[in-house]
Every structure is written in C-alpha cells, then in structure tokens.
Amino acid sequence: MIEAAPRYKYLDLVMVAFVVVLVCANLVGPAKAAQLDLPLLGVVTFSAGIVFIPMSYIFGDILTEVYGYDRTRRVIWTGFAALVFAAVMASLVVALPPAPNWPNQQAYEVAFGNAWRVVLASMVAYFCGEFVNSFVLAKMKVWSEGRYQRTRFVASTMAGEAVDSSIFYPLAFYNSGIMPNELVWVLTVSQFVTKTAVEICFLPLTTRIVAFLKRAEGVDHFDRDTDFNPFALKP
C-alpha cells in the first residue's frame, strides 16, 4: 500500500508568498543603484531590489526548517519557472508594437525591458544561492540536532547570499557598459552585507513564524536521508 503524502495547511501559502516576493524582486529592477545616508554608516550604495530579495531567503529558511529540503527544492523550482515565465512575458509585452497615440513605450522599456544578460544572471544567481542556503541550513540542522536555530538561519543566509551576490552582479554588469566596473564590486559587497543585516533584523519574526508552523503542521523535518541533488524533483 502506498503511503499518502502528508497534507499541510500552510505550505501552499508559504510557497505562494515566496514566489510572489521573488517575482517582485526581479520586476522592481535590480539594475537600479540607490543611495542612502545612514547614521553611523554614512553614505551607503545598494541595489533597489534589496527591498525584496532578502525576503526570499527568509522564506527559504522557513521552508527548509519546517518542511525540509525536499519540499523546499520543489518550491525553488516553482520560483525558477515563475521567473522564466515573467521574463518571457515581459519581453513579449515590451516587443508588441505600441499604439501611435501611446507615449509611454520608452518608459515601459526602461521598467520592464531588462536585458537578457541581466535576466539570465538573476536566474543563475537565484538558483545557486537558494540551493546553497537550503543545503547549508538542512545540514546544519542535522549536525546540531535542531539546536542553535538563529545561528543556523544567519549562517545559511550568509552562504546563500555570498553565492547569489558574487554571481549576479559580475555576470550581469561586469564590462557591460551599463555601469562602471567599480560600482559592480561596490554593489556586490553592499548587497551581501545589507541582505545579511536584513536577515538578522527579521530573526525574531522568522523564528516566531517557524514556531507557529511547526505547531500548526505538527512537523519538524530533519533531512537525515535526503537526496540533496537539486535536480531530483521527486520527494
């Protein structure tokens, strides 16, 4: 007799939230460099997409900690498919001939016409960073027997963000003519530092959500016998 897969009340909601944040992060436009004058830190230059991107790693932590690497892997692939669909549809809509009396084609191209180099870099960085984040968190949970949750969240996010940032900006913008190469490295470092800081700031909320989901779902998954191959989609 085949054992039925467990039915979770909130897994679909967490997955939808993860994918929405991910697509928003890419639609906002990672090519925009913003700047703020912060107390103690001074003038900080960062990517405008920083508003959304750290949230995807927070959701990745929640998914892996509660539901395990297997289910997180399927969510990561769902997010990847959503990114591909959004990129293709954005390109299609931008390419459609505008009406003669519609004056906003150029602004629309700026907002949604990301070069394919940027889109592909974003997808590669997302794919690698999210899987590194989930893998490190799952392994650390087993090694620590579920202890040191906050430390595990920060360490896994730092690993994932380091991979994400070091792939995206050089791959998307180095020698591209879109921005100076010096700014590429500034954004690479600032994105890593800022996103890690966001993870730390959100730790109290993240741990509360995790505790609620573990109680509500009756699950606290440990990936002791998990196949960590990112391409093995079967649970």
**What's the CATH code of the domain at 42?**
1.10.1760
Number of domains in the chain: 1
Nearest to 217 by CA among 69, 70, 8, 4: 8
Q: Which amino acid is at 3?
A: E
**For 168-221, how does the pLDDT look when each residue is reduced to its tens digit (9 = 90+)?**
888 887 787 767 888 888 878 877 887 788 888 889 999 999 999 999 999 999
Tokens for 217? 């779902």
Q: Strand 42-47 to strand 33-38: parallel, antiparallel, or no bridges (unpaired)?
A: antiparallel
3-state DSSP call for residue 221?
coil
Domain-located, residue 79? yes
Domain-located, residue 231? no
Residues spanned by the domain of 168:
11-27+38-95+109-217
| Banded model confidence at residue 47, pLDDT cuts 50, 70, 90 | low
Give Cβ neighbours of residue 22 (< 8 Å, ≥ 6 apart): 52, 56, 79, 82, 83, 126
Which pLDDT does position 4 carry in this prediction? 47
Which pLDDT does position 32 carry in this prediction? 67
Quick check: 45 and 187 in contact, CB under 8 A? Answer: yes
Domain-located, residue 33? no
3-state DSSP call for residue 37?
strand
Domain-located, residue 223? no
Which pLDDT does position 3 carry in this prediction? 43
Residue 232 has φ and ψ, to the nearest 5°, of -90, 95
How distant is the alpha carbon of residue 27 from its chain centre?
13
Domain-located, residue 226? no
Domain-located, residue 185? yes
CA R_g for the chain: 19
| Banded model confidence at residue 147, pLDDT cuts 50, 70, 90 | very high
Quick check: 192 and 165 in contact, CB under 8 A? Answer: yes
* Whether residue 131 has pLDDT greater than 90: yes
Domain-located, residue 123? yes
The DSSP output letter for 101 is T
Mean pLDDT, residues 133-141 taken together: 95
Q: Rounded to an integer, what distance in angstroms lies between the CA atom of residue 24 and that of residue 55?
A: 11
**For 208-223, how does the pLDDT look when each residue is reduced to its tens digit (9 = 90+)?**
999 999 999 999 999 9
**For 59-115, how does the pLDDT look when each residue is reduced to its tens digit (9 = 90+)?**
889 999 999 999 999 999 998 899 888 888 888 888 888 888 888 888 777 667 666
Quick check: 130 and 160 in contact, CB under 8 A? Answer: yes
Nearest to 125 by CA among 73, 176, 154, 161: 161
Q: What percent of the chain has pLDDT over 70?
A: 84
Q: Rounded to an integer, what distance in angstroms lies between the CA atom of residue 155 and that of residue 164?
A: 14
Which pLDDT does position 41 carry in this prediction? 63
Greatest mean pLDDT among 3-12, 17-26, 138-147: 138-147
| Banded model confidence at residue 33, pLDDT cuts 50, 70, 90 | low
| Banded model confidence at residue 145, pLDDT cuts 50, 70, 90 | very high
